[in-house]
Amino acid sequence: MIGPDRVMSRSTVQELDYSAPSFKSVGNTTTVISAADPNRRYLAIVNDSSEVIYLAVDADAVMNRGIRLNANGGVFEMTGLHLSLQVVNGICASGGMNVTLQEATL
């Protein structure tokens, strides 16, 4: 990694392609927040709701398990050594809660 929006690949620098900022509505059953993507190089998920949301990577999301996104701005980022190309799922107690996301690919 050479900076927040560039990656080094075999002695070349490649610009990342950022998607338009978006949001997903998370249900009270496992909900796909970000589909698997072999070209993913960055992912940020922010809880834009008043309820805790739980995340799972490459598995169904389960209440009170996995990665906890606190209400009102809890953040989960994947980049560099902490990057997964697999699906990211979410779940919340009441359903209909939003997360915002920003992704970048090569």
Taking only the tens place, the pLDDT of each residue in 20-45 is 999 999 999 999 999 999 999 999 99
Interatomic CA distance for residues 75 and 102, integer angstroms: 11
Average pLDDT over residues 38-67: 98
Q: Name the CATH code of domain 17-105 (choices 2.70.70.10, 1.20.120.1080, 3.40.50.720, 2.60.120.770).
A: 2.60.120.770
Reported as a pLDDT band with limits 50, 70 and 90, residue 1 is very low
pTM summary value: 0.86
What are 40's strand-pairing partners?
105
Per-domain residue ranges for the chain?
A: 17-105
Taking every pair of Cα atoms in the chain, the longest distance, rounded to a whole number of angstroms, is 49
Tokens matching residue 99? 């997360």
User: Residue 14: what pLDDT?
Assistant: 79
